[in-house]
Amino acid sequence: MKKGFATVFFACFLLLGFCAPEAFAFRCGNGLVTTGDTKSKVRMTCGNPTSKETRCKNKLVSSTKSSKSKCSDKVEVWHYNCGDNDFIYALTFEDNILTSEETEGRGRGKSNCEGK
């Protein structure tokens, strides 16, 4: 009986792990920002980013008759260079809300991830 209960408990634990929503945390200095935070909270916690850019949401660009590219859904990406011993992190915002974080290569020079 105990063996069966342990097996079921372990199976449920594994299943919950696969069903959990993707979440991340970005550490800058003593601060921590997570999915769902606003741009202002990220700026207050981590300071100004190294750089900013606007991208198409799905990186899919539709062409019009005039051969110009049009991007219907745009996102803002903030880059933080965390220095020689870390990475460059790209934080993506949709409608002022932090939605994802990715690394974009090795950082260089002094860290810009010390927070405030």
Instruction: Grade residue 76 by pLDDT with cuts at 50, 70 and 90.
Output: very high
- Give the residues across from 51 on adjacent strands: 79
- Angstrom distances, CA of residue 110 to CA of 53, 55, 86, 91, 101: 21, 26, 10, 19, 21
Q: 58 or 40, which is more confident?
A: 40
Catalogue all structural domains in the chain, each as residue range(s) with its CATH number: 23-106 (3.30.1450)
- Give the residues across from 32 on adjacent strands: 27
Dist CA 116 CA 101 (whole Å): 20
Residue whose C-alpha is closest to residue 94's, from 41, 60, 59, 55: 55
Instruction: Grade residue 65 by pLDDT with cuts at 50, 70 and 90.
Output: low
